[in-house]
Amino acid sequence: MIAARTTTTTTTKSSATFSRLSISKGCGTNNDRYRNRLAATRCRNRRRRGSSFFSSSSSGRTFRAVAAAAKEEEEEEGVDDDDDDDDAYYAQEKYDWEVGGPNDVPIPHLMNIYKGDKPLEPLQTSFCAPHSKTCLPRNNTTRRYFSTDKKSNVRFFVDPGDRVVLHSLAFATSLSPDSTCEAPTEADESTQPSYMKSSAICRFTPQWVIRAGPREKVYFAPEEVHAAIVTCGGLCPGINDVIRSIVGTLEEGYGVSKISGIRYGFSGFWEDGFENMELSKKVVKKAHKQGGSILGTARGGGDVDKIVDSILRQGINMLFVIGGNGSHAGANAISAECARRGSLVSVVGVPKTIDNDILLLDKTFGFDTAVEEAQKAIQAATIEAQSALRGVGVVKLMGRQSGFISMYATLASGDVDICLIPEVDFDVHGKNGVIEHVKDLLDEQGHCILVIAEGAGQEFVKVSGTDAGGNPLLGDIGPWLCKEIKKSTKCDVKYIDPTYMVRGCVANAHDAIMCNVLGQNAVHGAFAGFTGISIGYVNTHCVFLPIPMIIEKERLVDPKGRMWHRMLTSTGQPDFKEYEEEEEQEEDKEDETELNIPDKEIFEPMR
């Protein structure tokens, strides 16, 4: 939850006030001297490098103010002004950062792609909001336009240099849950305390991603924009909320009048029989009151050449793709093909997955609603099981490859005794198997509540083939597990599968807010000239991320992570997998090796 800004205080007075405030609060402590010297050193070094971190007008004033405050403090404390060695040390401070630096995550921009007759030039934005005092009525209409004479008094636009740190948690050692560490060097091992000799030292180098939001300079004139929205993949609560937000921001925020809805996924671009839906604020006014997608959705249809041909033929220059990993892969391919052709087309993705399995993001829209709706199914199963003689309530929830819904629903419920997810192997039979634990629970408390993700235990119900989106087909683990429980013990099994109830419902308040924010920032990203990007929350801040970065693999529950441990504490369930002694030893060796391999998604190589 750390955000960085490249803009600096523009007056000496305010900078000096900040520095003096630090001095007065710390009473001239060593920590305050360090901070002031470090700030002065950074200012000096960036000026020497000619960094774009500071503007030339403000950097000198800021540097002089900070340096003066540091010098004043040193004189008061009687400190010698021989800081060359200290400055050299502070200049190597590893968290130092600047726009375009090695830790700055780059994203594609149309300035580097467009191959038109005229170079792409930034324009003054038409985006405004009445409450911000940036808008004035024009031509006796309700449309409001940017008021240039008031812009200097308003904090409304996001600076292009604003950044958000990608990972906010720095691990001390590999013993910390969820940590990923680099292999320790001999020097590291010689200086480690004895209790840390077997663990790797975690070296954290922060990565910075671009903060989302409206920019003062844009690369599209609203009257020239033809925007298109397409929804792909399965249903998810909140799709219509995102559509409504995108349309409202385009029309009301920027003044775009031509917005098309592509019907039934990517195939709606090129298959016969599909006509675009004309979208406007009036058309989508009540769309968020219903579940599903007003545009229709489907898997497959990703013929990139035909899609791009259709985009260029229709004059579409902004495309918003609402979908999961597969849909984002398609959006990335479309963006790359448009770039290859040198076309002025911005492609922006909005992550849609009820499974919450998108890398790097705090959460995806629809997930909270899914967990909330799952509570109803678990509560019903609990009532049924408690009311029956030796009752067993089995609830199957969504989660093809990740068990986030099952894990969070289990934690939220408090009634669940067993939770099974795809990331954690388990035995059904045997002394350490699931059924044996079910028997124990029936003997002890008279009932048992079991939650299982749809992708769990697929080795027991294997099927072949893939769906239209290329995903492996899943066997139906729920009914199979119920039969195995019935065969093994005397009980009354109640089975509930709320899959389509969860998918098709209206988004709850939390997801509805998230959808509005994501939709607005998707439009801001397109107008800012970015392409091949996706929108999401990172450390509670909305950011722009390059699509390849988030589709490299699915995000999975970490069986060694804190949230899974919390869930185990809640259910009290044992390990349902029985390993041979040799297998355990071999796995331990593999784990030790893995601890010393840095996760490139989280940690950049040490420089």
The question of whether 355 is a catalytic residue gets the answer yes
Residue 600 pLDDT exceeds 80: no
Lowest average pLDDT, out of 19-23, 37-41, 301-305, goes to: 19-23
Q: Return the C-alpha torsion angle 482, 487, 493, 495, nearest 10.
A: 20
Q: Taking the C-alpha atoms of 126, 129, 134 and 138 in order, what is their torsion angle to the nearest 10 degrees?
A: 60
Lowest mean pLDDT among 125-139, 363-377, 575-589, 591-605: 591-605
For residue 597, what pLDDT is reported? 34
Weakest mean pLDDT among 26-35, 247-256, 273-282, 354-363: 26-35
Comparing 93 with 372, the larger pLDDT belongs to 372
CATH class of domain segment(s) 367-503: alpha beta
Q: Which residues pair with 351 in a beta bridge?
A: 323
Higher pLDDT, 503 or 595: 503
The pLDDT-based confidence of 17 (bands split at 50, 70, 90) is very low
User: pLDDT value at position 170?
Assistant: 79
**Angle (deg, nearest 10), helices 84-91 and 30-49:** 70
Q: 241, 355, 357, 415: which is the annotated catalytic residue?
A: 355
Same fold, 211-361+512-550 and 367-503: yes
**Greater model confidence, 584 or 572:** 572
What is the rounded average pLDDT for all residues in the chain? 80
Domain ranges for the chain: 3-91, 168-203+582-607, 211-361+512-550, 367-503
What local confidence, expressed as pLDDT, does residue 302 receive? 81
pLDDT at residue 62 in the model: 44
Mean pLDDT for 466-481 is 87
Q: Which residue has the higher pLDDT, 469 or 391?
A: 391
**In this predicted structure, what is the pLDDT of residue 487?**
95
Which of the four pLDDT bands, split at 50, 70 and 90, describes residue 116?
confident
**What's the pLDDT at 399?**
93
Q: Name the strand (E) or helix (H) holding 515.
A: helix 509-527
What is the pLDDT, as a whole number, of residue 205? 77
At a CB cut-off of 8 Å and minimum separation 6, what does 285 contact? 244
> What does the alpha-carbon distance between residue 36 and residue 71 come to, in Å, rounded to a whole number?
9
Q: Is the pLDDT of residue 26 over 90?
A: no
Counting DSSP H helices and E strands in the chain, the numbers are 17, 18
**Cα separations in angstroms, 337 against 298, 303, 369, 525:** 22, 11, 36, 19
Kindly report, residue by residue over 486-497, the tens digit of the pLDDT.
Answer: 999 999 999 999
Q: What is the average pLDDT across 514-536?
A: 97
Query: Does pLDDT of 356 surpass 50?
Result: yes
Q: What is the pLDDT of residue 582?
A: 46
- Does the domain at residues 211-361+512-550 carry the CATH identifier 3.40.50.450? yes
User: What is the arithmetic mean of pLDDT over 46-71?
Assistant: 44
Q: What is the pLDDT of residue 380?
A: 97
